[in-house]
Copies of this chain bind each other. A is one copy, B any other.
Amino acid sequence: MAQEQKAAKIFGGWNRRYKHTSDVLGCDMTFTVFFPPAATESKPAPVLYFLSGLTCTDENVTTKSGIQRKAAEEGIAIIAPDTSPRGLKIEGDSESWDFGEGAGFYLNATQPKWKQYRMLDYIVKELPSVLKQFKQLDLSKASITGHSMGGHGALTIGLKHPDMYQSISAFSPISNPMNVPWGQKAFSGYLGDDKETWKQYDATELVRKYEGPPRNIIITVGTKDDFLDNQLKPDVFAMAAAGTNVSVDLKLQEGYDHSYFFISSFIDDHVAHAARALKSS
């Protein structure tokens, strides 16, 4: 059972932060749920997972994006997980801001040293299981989105598990991690040198082989994002999707950067995208 750490009313709903012991990761983990005002046990709310980026916790999106306003209006719950295991004290897990703590990359590590870094299993298996304690959530109706490293997480997890997530979107996602510095550092560290394993966590590789039901994926990126060309490459992903069951709506927003100022400006589009899928499912 997850234990409530703190709670605050916002836009008529409740932002609640929980802690629980993760068997998958072998440490205590924190996550936040926003319960919209319409969520009740007799009429449980569908959920939208928001996976956060490098260095973030569950609190970045819940304090800076304003996501609760539109989620309250649409009657959608927001699930904000953390970005890595915490407190494992693995040598080197706190030396870099783009590897180790705060940088789990939403994968299951294969290298022995990092074997507890299993954020993929945490997000798709353990967390949904923990969330069952909340009867006011309908976990059978779920969408997924995220930012930067979390955009990578949303794309890869959404494409690998089309049965679990009825829609996918992303802000400024790392879209082809095999071919950019952030991804290469993370993948070699967590997964070793085998490029076939890397492909399982590369959205561009995954979309080429996608055989699930049709998906329209919204990707929003700022044209003044400092990471656009050398780390994100959403255009490479969009090109790879051509001819598959995935259509990509790549929205390039003039003058915006990589920050939560940018995310807050367009968060409504992503909540509405999820709402359309969740309400028709």
Tell me if A11 counts as interface (CB < 8 A to partner B).
yes
Interchain CB contact (< 8 A) of A8 among B9, B10, B63, B262? B262
**Inter-chain contacts of A262 with B (CB < 8 A):** 8-10
Query: Which single member of B9, B69, B224 contacts A9 (CB below 8 Å)?
Result: B224
Instruction: Determine if A15 is an interface residue (Cβ-Cβ < 8 Å).
Output: yes
When C-beta atoms are compared, the residue in chain B nearest to A34 turns out to be B261
Residues of B within 8 A of A265 (CB): 9-12
Inside 8 A of A11's CB, which chain B residues have their CB?
264-265
Whether a CB of chain B sits under 8 angstroms from the CB of A259 is: yes
A interface, size bucket:
20 to 34
Q: Is B64 in contact with A9, judged by CB distance below 8 angstroms?
A: no
B66 near A9 with CB under 8 A, answer no
Shortest Cβ distance from A61 into chain B, in angstroms? 12
Given known A-B contacts A64-B64, A66-B66, A69-B66, A9 and B256 have beta carbons under 8 A apart: yes
Mask of A56-89 contacts with B, CB within 8 angstroms, 1/0: 0000000110101100000000000000000000
**CB of A93 closer than 8 Å to a CB of B:** no
Across the interface, which residues of B come within 8 angstroms of A264, CB to CB?
Answer: 10-11, 66, 68-69
A259–B7 alpha-carbon span in the complex (Å): 11
Interface residues of A, Cβ cutoff 8 Å to B: 8-12, 15, 63-64, 66, 68-69, 222, 224, 255-257, 259-262, 264-265
